Amino acid sequence: MLRDEQLERLSGAPFDVLVIGAGAVGAATAWYASLAGARVAVVDRGDVAGATSSASSKLMHGGLRYLAMGDVGLVREAHHERRIHARTVAPNLVRPLDFVVPVGPDSPTRLWQVRAGVFLYGALARFADGRNGRIPLAAARRRVPPLLTDGLRGTVLYHDHQTHDARLAIAALTAAADAGAVVATHAEVVSLRMRGGAVTGAEVEDRLRGGSRTVEARAVVNAAGPWVDAVRRLEDPAAGTSVLLSKGAHAVLAGGDGWTAAVTTPLPGGRVSFAIPWEGMLLLGTTDEPYDGDPAAVAATDADLAQILAEAGRSLAPEVLEPSLVRSRFAGVRVLPAGGSSTIRARRETVVTRGPGGMVSVAGGKLTTWRLIGARIARLALGSIDRTPAPRRPVALPGAGQPDAIERSLAATHPELPPDVRAHLARHYGTRSADLLAPAGDDRHLLEFTRRVARLRREHPTFRRRKFFRGREIRGSDVKDLAWIRADGQEMTDQEWNAGFVRCFGMALGGGAMEEWNDRGEQITDDDFLLLFNADGGAIDFTVPAFGRAREWRVVLDTNEPELVEGDRHHPPGESLRMEGRSMVILQAVQGNGR
């Protein structure tokens, strides 16, 4: 269903539950409320998982450092959830990962303390993943080839899981949409509707096309993440501060080859630094510092990058941490309970409040327990309107399946796709991979194109940064920053556009924007980025949009392997350009002279 239709449905019959926010908690709330048969609507001022829920360390873990803080109950609960996700909820998105903890002479924690801690950590998981404990230095180096072992007092191994954070939220909203929920992105709540002192809905503004719609609902859930207090003040202007924000930055580097484990480096003050093989790259982070700015403006700075590399350098060889290897960096804000003096020591508890008008507000918690939080909030919202409570049991998300089995199935049905492309599809789209490939049918040209573009996206991750896709039922058709151009120079129709993306990329395009960053690591807006795609190979003339001076990148797809032409050309607004041959052109707004 296209975005315009979703927006029209918002103004229809009253909903049982309106969820404000399409991050992990909002998505889980909508999912479980829909499972209970409720009529649900979800709106978000940005995109699905567009803020905190896509800026994590990509881990589904018990939280070793939370054990040191005494959160035994949280760690036990998180252990349970990560295993349920890997077994039932999303085995294609959640997979086991070993972690090595190096303990050196300058480590803030002694070796015996780490050994005792990981033993207790494993005991809370009932040793379901195997025994945790000390391993020889040589064994640690085999798992992490660039690990610095000279002078170490020892290395300790423990077990957790990693995930794809944004895709969990996308899958949950796909499930909600399958059950009849309305999902509208770039739709901002600007005011709440009140009747007799009770919140009965919201006024929602379309941030892409303008205009507003009235949404009526018997129960309203505020799951706006770092904006939770701003939404609370729409209900009660005198509402105080309920959460504390903490900025966390990460860096993605080329590397990770040969790694079969991640690294957890203990740092002074109770923090840890992760080095994680992820998506064919190396993910480093995270920082942790108080943040009081606009959550939409959070960005990874040069200082953040320097800190990340320096902290990783306590455990890893310098040649794998060269600044030239950095492919991207990102930052997000964690939402923590207010009242503490330190974001580092703050507990990852969930903050739940009910306002004077009955609106339920929720924020905080761990990504690992997102499903539990959403199920709890759904029960709370439905209970307030005497509806059947949401189920407590774990439920499989759309696409859930064992990736190895899905890869074997794809090998049988699409033998022309190489193993790495089949693995990419299986681990991102699960059992829906075949559906995404179906529009290509027997067109070998399009399947070959799928192979080339999938490989390009892995080898050049600057073109992989946080692209949010959803199932077909909730995808949009009017994204401003992505245009599909036919060989005759005309923009494709909605049907051609959506089918073409599935054909050429092997995935479905959602209604949200492709996000990018400028040269300073700051996120840029939808109107600052344009991608033109020439699938047919004919000449296409176009002009530089009026978003300012633009840097041009070109990707040539007619060669045996995609060729990236670095972005060293700059163009003023209105300049005429031409595309020839099967290729992509990316135009990104730059500041000043663009250098």
Which pLDDT tens digits describe the chain residue by residue (595 residues)?
567 888 899 998 899 999 999 999 999 999 999 999 999 999 999 989 989 999 999 999 887 777 766 667 778 888 889 999 999 999 999 999 999 999 999 999 888 888 888 888 887 777 788 888 999 999 999 999 999 999 999 999 999 999 999 999 999 999 999 999 999 999 999 999 999 999 999 999 998 888 999 999 999 999 999 999 999 999 999 999 999 999 999 999 999 999 999 999 999 988 899 999 998 899 999 999 999 999 999 999 999 999 999 999 999 999 999 999 998 899 999 998 886 444 444 445 788 999 999 999 999 888 999 999 999 999 999 999 999 888 888 999 999 999 999 999 999 988 878 888 888 889 989 999 888 777 666 656 556 655 555 555 444 433 322 222 222 222 222 222 233 333 344 444 444 444 443 333 332 223 222 333 333 333 334 345 565 656 556 676 767 766 567 777 676 655 544 455 555 577 887 788 887 776 667 666 665 433 3
166 burial level (CB within 10 Å; 0-12, 13-18, 19+): buried
Cα(561)–Cα(566) distance, integer angstroms = 16
Side chain identity at residue 90, one-letter code: A
Nearest to 185 by CA among 10, 385, 367: 10
Cα(207)–Cα(224) distance, integer angstroms = 16
Distances (CA, A) of 373 to 166, 214, 508: 17, 28, 28
Nearest to 445 by CA among 488, 486, 500, 484: 500
240: number of Cβ within 10 Å = 9
429: number of Cβ within 10 Å = 26
Cα(303)–Cα(282) distance, integer angstroms = 19
The predicted-structure confidence for 28-68, as pLDDT tens digits, reads as follows: 999 999 999 999 999 999 989 989 999 999 999 887 777 76
CATH 3.40.50.720 fits 3-52+166-237+348-383, yes or no: no
Instruction: Record the tokens describing residue 289, joined without a space.
Output: 């510092």
Reported as type and span, the H/E element at residue 29 is: helix 24-35
Instruction: Record the tokens describing residue 282, joined without a space.
Output: 């190396």
**CATH code 3.50.50.60 region(s) in the chain:** 3-52+166-237+348-383
Nearest to 220 by CA among 34, 19, 43: 19
pTM: 0.79
| Alpha helix segments (H runs only) across 91-159 | 111-124, 137-143
Q: What is the DSSP string of 172-234?
A: HHHHHHHTT-EEESSEEEEEEEEETTEEEEEEEEETTT--EEEEEEEEEEE--GGGHHHHHHH
DSSP state of 548: S
**CATH code 3.30.9.10 region(s) in the chain:** 93-163+244-337
**CATH tag, 93-163+244-337:** 3.30.9.10
- Please say whether the dihedral angle defined by the alpha carbons of residues 250, 163, 118 and 321, taken in this order, is positive or negative: negative
Nearest to 45 by CA among 221, 169, 197, 227: 227
Nearest to 296 by CA among 341, 340, 245, 258: 245
What is the pLDDT at residue 290?
94
Cα(589)–Cα(548) distance, integer angstroms = 6
Nearest to 397 by CA among 419, 428, 376, 418: 428
